[in-house]
Amino acid sequence: MECIVEYEGNEYKFCRDSKDKLYWVGHRRIAGGSFIGPNCVAPLFLGSSLIKAAIDSGKYEKDFFLRKKKEVKAKRTRRAKSNSNSNSISIF
């Protein structure tokens, strides 16, 4: 699903890369004013404003913009090595 939001006369697109990094890129200039350029990453300070604009539009839920939770692996306890030959002497 693609998220494109209009903010201050320009359109921005929400992206998620393979490492689950979240960012916004400039999509299209609609009106005059400052625009970062097409396919250029938007400054971080715009992120929260763009997410708020997307949620306020009613098309997207808050969960759409959150990172996916990583599965936590169960911890394994380590066992001490058992000596196969109890008559042997360890020099280390």
Q: What is the pLDDT of residue 88?
A: 65
Q: What is the pLDDT of residue 51?
A: 83
Q: What is the pLDDT of residue 21?
A: 80
Ramachandran angles phi, psi of 63, nearest 5° = -65, -25
As a whole number, the mean pLDDT across the chain is: 77
Q: What is the mean pLDDT of residues 33-54?
A: 79
Q: What is the pLDDT of residue 33?
A: 64
Does the pTM surpass 0.75? The reply is no
For 29, 40, 50, the CA distances from 11, given in Å and listed in that order, are: 6, 12, 10
